[in-house]
């Protein structure tokens, strides 16, 4: 799931997943972090989910995926669409 907050010149996007599905560490990987695994790892929240928040430039389109333990890549069902094998996000 994606949570967004519009700011003056950027969008704060929070990438949210269940606490244990998939199990193990998960990071969000995309064009905004040069597809660097582990650069933005989701951390547990009190409400039973895990998340990471990124401030991204506004009025842009980004491609991203999640990377879980065991080299398991997957997309976000709540993204703004698909861009080839990747999820698409509009800020």
Q: Tell me, what's the pLDDT at 83?
A: 86
Q: Where are the domains of the chain?
A: 2-85
Give the model's confidence band at 5: pLDDT under 50 very low, under 70 low, under 90 confident, else very high. Answer: very high
Rounded mean pLDDT, 82-91: 94
Rounded mean pLDDT, 62-84: 95
pLDDT in tens, 31-62: 999 999 999 999 999 999 999 999 999 999 99
Q: The domain 2-85 belongs to what CATH superfamily?
A: Immunoglobulins (2.60.40.10)
Q: Name the residue among 85, 3, 83, 88 with its Cα closest to residue 42.
A: 3
The pair phi, psi for residue 32, each rounded to 5°, is: -75, -15
As a whole number of angstroms, the distance between CA 90 and CA 7 comes to 14
3 state SS of 38:
coil
Predicted TM-score of the model (pTM) = 0.93
Rounded mean pLDDT, 18-28: 95
| Dihedral, 83, 87, 90, 91 alpha carbons, nearest 10 | -140
The pair phi, psi for residue 5, each rounded to 5°, is: -130, 120
């Amino acid at each position: 799931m994606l949570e967004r907050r519009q700011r003056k010149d950027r969008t704060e996007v929070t990438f949210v997943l269940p606490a244990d599905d998939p199990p193990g560490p998960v990071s969000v990987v995309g064009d905004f972090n040069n597809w660097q695994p582990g650069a933005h790892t989701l951390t547990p929240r009190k409400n039973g989910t895990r998340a990471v928040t990124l401030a991204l430039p506004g009025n842009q389109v980004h491609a991203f995926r999640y990377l879980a333990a065991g080299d398991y890549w997957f997309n976000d069902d709540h993204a703004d669409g698909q861009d080839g094998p990747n999820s698409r996000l509009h800020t």
